[in-house]
């Protein structure tokens, strides 16, 4: 392979790994410059680590609520409210 050709580096890197040959031996057998091989492998490694995360859109689900209505007043609170706090509130409202 000569320097004017464009190489399919991902395929070459995969072939090298699967061959079990050292990088030096693989590059000799395929007439590649080992420095170019290492540089392209490093670039692939960086690009794969930088794109390993994708932005995820999350949805906020409405929390379940407990409603307490006394006359015209309504108090809404989360279902997982502390029972002691709620008991104290009810005692104070009584």
Q: Does 4 reside within a domain?
A: no
User: In what helix (H) or strand (E) does residue 65 lie, and over which residues does it extend?
Assistant: strand 65-70
What residues contact 13, with CB distance under 8 A and at least 6 apart? 37, 40, 41, 44
Domain count, the chain: 2
Owning domain of residue 69: 62-94
- The structure's pTM equals 0.46
Q: Say yes or no: 66 and 46 in one domain.
A: no
Tens digits of pLDDT across the chain (94 residues): 455 578 999 999 999 999 999 999 999 999 999 999 999 999 888 766 555 667 788 888 788 898 988 888 898 999 999 999 989 988 987 7
Based on the domain organization, do 25 and 46 belong to the same domain?
Answer: yes
Would residue 78 count as lying in a domain? yes
Is the residue at 36 inside a domain?
A: yes
1 located within any domain: no
């Amino acid at each position: 392979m000569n320097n004017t050709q464009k190489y399919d580096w991902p395929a070459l890197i995969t072939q090298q790994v699967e061959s079990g040959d050292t990088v030096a031996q693989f590059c000799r057998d395929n007439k590649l410059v080992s420095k170019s091989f290492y540089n392209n492998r490093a670039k692939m490694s960086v690009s794969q680590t930088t794109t390993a995360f994708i932005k995820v859109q999350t949805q906020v689900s409405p929390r379940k609520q407990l409603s307490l209505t006394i006359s015209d007043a309504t108090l809404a609170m989360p279902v997982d409210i502390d029972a002691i706090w709620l008991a104290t509130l009810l005692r104070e409202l009584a």
